[in-house]
Amino acid sequence: MNLFQKGLLFVSISSLQIVAAELPKQPNIVFIMADDLGWADVGYHGAKGIKTPTIDKLAKEGTKLETFYAQPMCTPSRAALMTGRYPMRYGLQSFVITPGQHYGLPTDERTIAEALKEAGYSTYALGKWHLGHSKKEYWPQNRGFDYFYGTTIGNVDYYTKKRNGVMDWQRNGKFIEENEYFTDLITKDAVRIIEEQDGKKPFFLYMAHLAVHSPYQAPKKYLDKFMDIKDETRRTYAAMAASMDDSVKEVVDALDRKGLRDNTLILFISDNGGIAGSGYSSSMKKVAGNKPAPADNGPYKGSKASLYEGAVRTVAFVNWPKKVKATTVNEMIHMVDWLPTLVGLAGGKAEGNKTIDGLDVWPTITQGKASPHESILINAEFHKGAVRKGDWKLIKKASLPSKIELYDVLHDMGEKHNVAKEHPEKVAELEALLNDYAKGATQALYFKEYLPFIVEDYKTSDMSYNGDEDSGQEGEIPVLPKH
């Protein structure tokens, strides 16, 4: 080899090394989901009496997503995250999976965990699943997660992990009895998982808190910090939020100790808005009397389970040192967007054998570009639905008495002024849009199981959740199926 050839070889190798150095490294992803957290129940949104210093710091140093939409309740929101598809497309749009039911996230739906696993990630799920419990094929470890530690159903007791007398707490399919506080247990496991990482393989850690969902329970050391809050339920709620904030701190500290923080994207999001005002279910009202529910959704109307902003516009931010700016994004982003966005960052394939509704919003988050969504679906059920396009939001209720509501949510974020009569052309436009979305719906599995006489084509229009539009209850089935 002559000197010229050696020079070319050196240049070629050097160029390859430079290209290799410039290639983006797959980020670790830590997705922390709060449960029923009110919009105004974090410090950076002006929380009253509640302290969340770690969450606040991450939010202020990261990008706050102030027009982030989720689904109105627990199961639909988790389904939207997992699939990148609106829950109405596979029957999870209505209510939640209650203990006595036998359906789950359909097994032909591809999950974000499966997509990330295909991209070379280790995948972990901790905490609350709530996407199917009665059959093992619905469990997280059979939906793309290498590891699962937590509960498959909804609001278990924070200490006994029981609901209606039956315990639901497992590690990879083995049911175990552990009486430590729910938040503490999943935090310890998250820290352990992080400490076991060697940095050679990226990981996706989905940490789904039960906090601040009912039953309202908290350790004494946290309750003692909020003795100035007179209402007992609000005091406990504040203590639960503080415990969750400490959990986030422990996770961040573990990432720092392992030297993984700079290449770890942290997302903190609530699955829906809080149970606020009169949003209690009838059974909770028997316990609470006339006291208001504990959450504070700030300027937004409504409670969890409704179609108003208080239910579907949630706390959300992303934090990734040197990759995400300290800024605020007010563009529309939806829970379905995380699958294409995160899988895209991972270098994986977002689309499976079904078309997803989510879009890659990374340019919106990091470059200040407009939302790729012209419109987003809030929800579509056979008896009610809502859609947003631009500044306008339409809510349609077919259950008697039927009602059409139109809001300019940019200028009327509290949805105080129904301007449907003043803008009939906008009503017609958005109603047609909502109907177009609804054409892609399948029958709600909740109603199909409980009320099988409801016809497939949704011609029945006089149906509601026990007459309580803002109900926050997640079902009252007397007996859990035995594992």
CATH of the domain at 87: 3.40.720.10
In-domain check, residue 152: yes
Distances (CA, A) of 122 to 29, 170, 424: 10, 19, 52
- The residues annotated as belonging to the active site are 74, 130
Q: Output 467 or 218, whichever has higher pLDDT.
A: 218
Asked if 92 and 232 sit in the same domain, the reply is yes
- Evaluated on CA atoms 250, 254, 260, 261, the torsion sign reads positive
Among 270, 111, 113, which Cα is nearest to 206's?
A: 113
What is the three-class DSSP state of 127? Answer: strand
Q: Could you tell me if 409 and 264 lie in one domain? A: no
Residues 200 and 349 in one domain: yes
Q: Categorize the per-residue pLDDT at 451 as very low, low, confident or very high, splitting at 50, 70 and 90.
A: confident
Is position 217 within any domain? Answer: yes
CB under 8 Å to 57, separation ≥6 — which residues? none
- For the chain, the maximum distance between any two Cα atoms, rounded to a whole number of angstroms, is 91
Dist. CA 295–CA 474, nearest whole Å? 16
Query: Within this chain, do residues 124 and 57 fall inside the same structural domain, yes or no?
Result: yes
Q: Which of 4-8, 263-267, 368-372, 446-450 has the lowest mean pLDDT?
A: 4-8
Q: Is residue 242 part of a domain?
A: yes
- Among the candidates 353, 374, 395, a domain finishes at 374
Whether 454 maps to a domain, the answer reads: no
**431 and 335 in a common domain:** no
CATH number, domain containing residue 395 = 3.30.1120.10
Of 330, 347, 374, at which residue does a domain stop? 374
pLDDT (tens digit, 9 = 90+) per residue, 126-144?
A: 999 999 999 999 999 999 9
Lowest mean pLDDT among 212-216, 268-272, 290-294, 324-328: 290-294
Q: Each residue of 43-58: pLDDT tens digit? A: 999 999 999 999 999 9
Where is average pLDDT lowest: 153-157, 345-349, 411-415?
A: 153-157
Give residue 80's pLDDT band: very low, low, confident or very high (50, 70, 90).
Answer: very high
Q: Tell me what the pLDDT averaged over the chain comes to.
A: 90
How crowded is residue 246: how many other Cβ atoms within 10 Å of its Cβ? 17
Task: For residue 313, give the DSSP letter.
Answer: B
Residue found under tokens 């080899």: 1
Q: Are 317 and 63 within 8 A, CB to CB?
A: yes
Report yes or no: 403 and 461 within 8 Å, Cβ to Cβ: no
Residues 335 and 390 in one domain: no
Domain housing 431 = 383-440
Residues 335 and 428 in one domain: no
Predicted model pTM: 0.90
Q: Is residue 13 part of a domain?
A: no
- Residue 259: phi and psi, rounded to 5, are 70, 25
Which two structure tokens, joined as six digits, stand for 278? 């009169």
